[in-house]
Amino acid sequence: MGSLEVVKEPPRGLIKSKQIMKAAQDRQKSYVDKQRRPIEFNVGDNVILKVSPWKPVEIIYRKDKQLRHKVILLVKVIWKHRKGSDATWETEEEMHKFYPQLVK
């Protein structure tokens, strides 16, 4: 019976850790909420949008993703940008649509 009591009640250290983490998250949220302000635009306002360009470099791997009733073709793409490069999985259909020069 003693082991069943342990399963029912979590250890005190775990409860205390969760409380400390929750307090830290709440504190961080309050800092962000104080600095956050709603942004509203009206028709005719001039807005500057800064976009960091990601350029397609190459497809390095292809694989088939089997779902219940269909197969999706996936490609792994290396993207190059100012801070380095990253690789992501994209659907081959989407790559055909937006970057036809990469998909052969």
Q: In angstroms, what is the C-alpha Rg of the chain?
A: 25
Does 8 fall in a domain? yes
Does 12 fall in a domain? yes
* Domain range enclosing 82: 55-98
Structurally, the chain folds into a number of domains equal to 2
Give me the pLDDT at residue 5, please. Answer: 55
Enter the pTM of the model. 0.46
Does 79 fall in a domain? yes
Give me the pLDDT at residue 80, please. Answer: 82
Is 92:74 a contact under the CB 8 Å cutoff? yes
Does 88 fall in a domain? yes
Which residues are paired to 88 by β-bridges?
A: 77
Does 41 fall in a domain? no
Does 44 fall in a domain? no
The predicted-structure confidence for 44-57, as pLDDT tens digits, reads as follows 999 888 776 667 78
Report the SS3 class of residue 31: helix
CA distances from 19 to 6, 14, 28, 61, 84 (A): 20, 9, 14, 45, 39
- Percent of the chain scoring above 70 in pLDDT: 88
Does 104 fall in a domain? no
